[in-house]
Chain A
Amino acid sequence: MSAFAFWGAVEIGLVYAFVGLGVYFSFRVLDFPDLTVDGSFPLGAAVAAMMIIAGINPWLATLAGMIAAGAAGVVTAVLNVRFKILNLLASILTMIALFSVVIRVMHGPNVSLLRRPTMLSPFYGHGVPDYLVRPAFLLVLVVIAVILLARLLASDFGLAMRATGANVRMARAQGIRTDWQVYAGMALSNALVGLAGALFAQTNGFADVTTGTGTIVIGLAAVIVGETLIRLRGVVFALIACVVGSVLYHIAIQVALEADVLGLQASDLKLVTAVLVTLALILPRLRRGARA
């Protein structure tokens, strides 16, 4: 693999690390299987891109993308908590609706950000090649995010969120207003995915509604690959595992695509991802079955 391809894989892995972190919050912390992310990823990208095109500061534009995506998460949470729609179905409804919303936001299925200022613009052209600037910049953001999220999960508020996902009856008996914890957790989860979308748009130079398809599976892949490789206890390691899982997964995908013997083409990616995640999901069960 060329250095260029390798760092490209690291870069996309670090972008999707935010999806992994978001999916960790919905699937693992809240125990809420949330497919909204397939819509909140392109929504974050679309909102950030359109605001950048409108001349707004890229950092603010990214923040706006996160807020929009977080709001999408709240919609799913309200459908489930307030209106008792099954969690998976609630998230599918929001996800489908977002497809239309994203196209409205962009006045079409995609927009280009070529030659527009991005969060990365100030860091280009200082002698470091662009293909290294991008992963370095993303790594700094990811490290900051992991520190903030780990600190959040160690707070009274964070523990209340974890209790909500782990044992809702106990949480209520302890005075935790579990409805609000689900709203907050789903907002946070989808805001992280929206951030990934906004970063994807700025590192790749475009936003496209179709980039959302399969986001959930890539996020789950990051979580599961990370959990399989890093078995240390504690939430800090769980968060780091999401990041490491995402990067390794994308490097592995790159290797698989480049290996001529496998004869894969880029469009096989989703199939490969789905097969990998399926294997990761059923292997522990098969192993348990073999022991029993």
Chain B
Amino acid sequence: MIKVSNLSVVFGAGTPLEKRALNGVDLTLEAGEFVSVIGSNGAGKSTLLGAIAGDVLATEGRIEIDGRDVTRQPTARRAALVARVFQDPLAGSCGQLTIEENLAIAAARGTRRGLGLAIGKRRTMLHERVEALGLGLESRLTDKMALLSGGQRQALALVMATLAKSSVLLLDEHTAALDPGMAEFVIHLTDRFVRDFRLTTLMVTHSMRQALDTGTRTVMLHEGRIVLDVSGATRSGMGVEDLVTMFRRKRGKAIDDDELLTS
């Protein structure tokens, strides 16, 4: 379970460029929930994921993962609990290392990294997981990661994210950089992995369609606040049109609220 309470993040505090990217966000994810996050550019989506992962330090508030307070923990310390796929296909793996070396690094996430051979004991398991992708990459396990296409790398990044246990999977527009065909493939793969491994997931997407079609709940961020949170019957009855209308209305309301506060 993930519990974000009253989370605020301010960048460049005290400078002329001060920016409140998150403004008192409360969000609780039950185990197994798959939440899609939408919102316009600069709404604070990446900042929210970054704060949960540890890359961004919370200015105020508290982040709990499985009952543990991780608010002050650096990224590497909470990595045992957090699996991630980045937007940039190059960011999630090492181009100079081979496919199997990258996978072995991910398989050891959250463990003490000792002097045991990294690949030896995992070879069969890694081969099976890559074969199951159906991309034919199992015959290229000793190729450098840099030789693969963005889509292939992103599919492998998803595999990497699911090799070790995690309490939450964070996906930040992980299909945005891919061509439509590959984006489709990766989103299906995401759906399958989340189901098969019963992952608690937070997925940022730029596509309203994707936000409604995947996952069990949809959250909308606007100017650092959650302005919409739908699940269950309300959500399954919704179309993209409804979401857009609600987005307009909520955004208008958020602006009204701000005006009320400032006037």
One of A151, A156, A162, A172 near B108 (C-beta < 8 A): A156
A 139-166 to B, binary, CB cutoff 8 A, 1 in contact else 0: 0000000000001101111111011001
A157 to B105, CA, bound (A): 9
Looking at chain A's contact residues, the main secondary structure is: helix
Residues of chain B within 8 A of A2, CB atoms compared: none
A154 to B77, CA, bound (A): 23
Most A CB atoms within 10 A — which of B53, B96, B106? B96
- A176 on the B face (CB < 8 A): yes
Among listed B38-46, B87-95, B198-206, B231-239, interface-contacting one? B87-95
A 152-191 to B, binary, CB cutoff 8 A, 1 in contact else 0: 1011111110110011011111111110000000000000
Question: A176 to B113, Cβ gap below 8 A?
Answer: yes
B 108-152 to A, binary, CB cutoff 8 A, 1 in contact else 0: 111101111111000000000000000000000010100000000
Residues of chain A within 8 A of B10, CB atoms compared: none
Question: B113 to A156, Cβ gap below 8 A?
Answer: yes
Most A CB atoms within 10 A — which of B74, B76, B77, B144? B76
Residues of chain A within 8 A of B94, CB atoms compared: 162-163, 166-167, 170
A156 to B109, CA, bound (A): 10
Total A-B residue contacts, Cβ distance less than 8 Å: 90
Known contacts A152-B115, A155-B116; A169 and B76 CB within 8 A of each other: no
A 91-107 to B, binary, CB cutoff 8 A, 1 in contact else 0: 00000000000000000
Known contacts A152-B115, A157-B114; A174 and B97 CB within 8 A of each other: no
Question: B109 to A174, Cβ gap below 8 A?
Answer: yes
Question: A154 to B117, Cβ gap below 8 A?
Answer: yes
Question: A158 to B118, Cβ gap below 8 A?
Answer: yes
Distance from B154 Cβ to chain A, minimum over Cβ atoms (Å): 13
Distance from A118 Cβ to chain B, minimum over Cβ atoms (Å): 31
Question: A167 to B93, Cβ gap below 8 A?
Answer: yes
A169 to B54, CA, bound (A): 11
Question: A159 to B93, Cβ gap below 8 A?
Answer: no
Question: B114 to A155, Cβ gap below 8 A?
Answer: yes
Question: B92 to A170, Cβ gap below 8 A?
Answer: yes
A27 to B114, CA, bound (A): 23
A175 to B106, CA, bound (A): 9
Known contacts A167-B94, A177-B76; A159 and B115 CB within 8 A of each other: no
A 216-255 to B, binary, CB cutoff 8 A, 1 in contact else 0: 0000000000000000010000000000000000000000
Question: A175 to B76, Cβ gap below 8 A?
Answer: yes
A210 to B82, CA, bound (A): 51
Known contacts A159-B118, A175-B80; A170 and B93 CB within 8 A of each other: yes
Residues of chain A within 8 A of B77, CB atoms compared: 175, 177
Question: B110 to A175, Cβ gap below 8 A?
Answer: yes
A155 to B96, CA, bound (A): 17
Residues of chain B within 8 A of A158, CB atoms compared: 118
In the complex, which residue of chain A has the Cβ closest to the Cβ of B142?
A: A233
Residues of chain B within 8 A of A169, CB atoms compared: 55, 91
In the complex, which residue of chain A has the Cβ closest to the Cβ of B81?
A: A175
Question: A154 to B113, Cβ gap below 8 A?
Answer: no
Distance from A227 Cβ to chain B, minimum over Cβ atoms (Å): 13
In the complex, which residue of chain B has the Cβ closest to the Cβ of A167?
A: B94
Question: B105 to A160, Cβ gap below 8 A?
Answer: yes
- B75 on the A face (CB < 8 A): yes
Question: B108 to A173, Cβ gap below 8 A?
Answer: no
Question: A172 to B104, Cβ gap below 8 A?
Answer: no
Residues of chain B within 8 A of A151, CB atoms compared: 115, 117
Known contacts A163-B94, A169-B91, A170-B93; A155 and B118 CB within 8 A of each other: yes
Residues of chain A within 8 A of B223, CB atoms compared: none
A 174-217 to B, binary, CB cutoff 8 A, 1 in contact else 0: 11111000000000000000000000000000000000000000
Question: B53 to A162, Cβ gap below 8 A?
Answer: no
Question: B92 to A154, Cβ gap below 8 A?
Answer: no
Question: B97 to A160, Cβ gap below 8 A?
Answer: no
27 pairs, CB–CB < 8 Å, chain A vs chain B: A151-B117, A154-B117, A155-B113, A155-B116, A156-B114, A156-B116, A157-B114, A157-B115, A158-B118, A159-B113, A159-B118, A160-B108, A160-B113, A162-B97, A162-B101, A166-B94, A167-B93, A167-B94, A167-B95, A172-B75, A173-B84, A173-B92, A174-B106, A174-B109, A175-B76, A175-B77, A175-B111
